Chain A
Amino acid sequence: MAVTLAGFVDFEITWRADVFSGAPQSSSADSFGTLGINFRARKPRNEAEWGAALAALNCAVPAQLRYPVSG
């Protein structure tokens, strides 16, 4: 949801894996079940497309947000 709120559509996580096990030093990664991920998204064509994506989340456009400036 946060990625959509920031101004994107078509958010998708395409991959996730443990990328920390076996590192030279121990870390907190295992404590939180931390995984490496790849994700992608797209800037919408226009404000209308973004609004539709937000509506699909049952989320109104927050008053303080607007379509990311491109001009």
Chain B
Amino acid sequence: MINAVFEKQIPAPELDLSNLRRSIQEEYTAVAETPQQGFHFHTGRPLAHMLGYRDKWLEGIPEASIESFAGTGNPFSLGKLKPGERVVDVGSGAGIDSLIAAKMVGPAGHVVGVDMTPAMLAKARRAARETGLDNVEFREGYGEALPALNGWADVVISNGVLNLMPDKSAALQEMARVLKPTGRLQIGDILVQKAVPASAKRKIDLWTG
């Protein structure tokens, strides 16, 4: 059943990666700055409920983080985050999952959210200040080159981001690198049930829409 999302790890040779990244940044800058405009994917609190996010998880999370939520799954349904654990959130967006994780791991734990979109990082950092949580930080970076040390994390989470990375193998290897031995990967993402032709993989607007 798993097909194109995982089978083909390298981008189409003609795909302009810098253009792709720029297009994705533009899309998610809009999700950060004008979340009410409506996108080709669900966003915000209705999406969180659709994906099974519990009301108690969202308590104390700033509305700014919730309104720009654009995940595709529920990393927290895959395993409990324990007090004291270290978590890396790949593609942290406006911070909702990182902030939920920070509450779960408590003051003895630490969360590093990583995102490549400046508008999302700014929104996440403002939200973190608003919560007063001091066990969470947001770093600018790419999933294919995570700004985190080898073996630092107990858990890597990510939600609706891996599908946006042209080199998924590199991103998964980075997730493995930053995890401790026996560390857990808990991911929300997408799969496609029909083969994606090479010609479609070259169309940047199909990556974002």
* A residues lining the B interface (CB < 8 Å): 1-3, 5-8, 13-16, 19-20, 22-29, 31-46, 68-71
CA separation between A53 and B176, bound complex, in Å? 15
Contact between chains at A2 and B72 (CB < 8 Å) = no
Q: Using known A-B contacts A15-B73, A42-B182, determine if residue A36 contacts B188 with beta carbons closer than 8 Å.
A: yes
Contact between chains at B41 and A35 (CB < 8 Å) = no
* B residues lining the A interface (CB < 8 Å): 2, 4, 6-7, 9, 38-42, 47, 50-51, 72-75, 77-79, 150-151, 160, 168-169, 172-173, 175-177, 179-194, 196, 206, 209
Least Cβ–Cβ distance between A31 and chain B, in angstroms: 7
Q: Compute the total of residue contacts between A and B using a CB distance below 8 Å.
A: 145
Contact between chains at A32 and B194 (CB < 8 Å) = yes
Contact between chains at A33 and B181 (CB < 8 Å) = no
Contact between chains at B151 and A38 (CB < 8 Å) = no
Known: A8-B176, A34-B193, A43-B185. 17 other contacts (CB 8 A): A2-B9, A6-B172, A7-B176, A8-B172, A23-B41, A24-B39, A25-B209, A27-B41, A28-B40, A36-B73, A37-B73, A37-B191, A39-B185, A43-B180, A45-B181, A69-B150, A70-B151
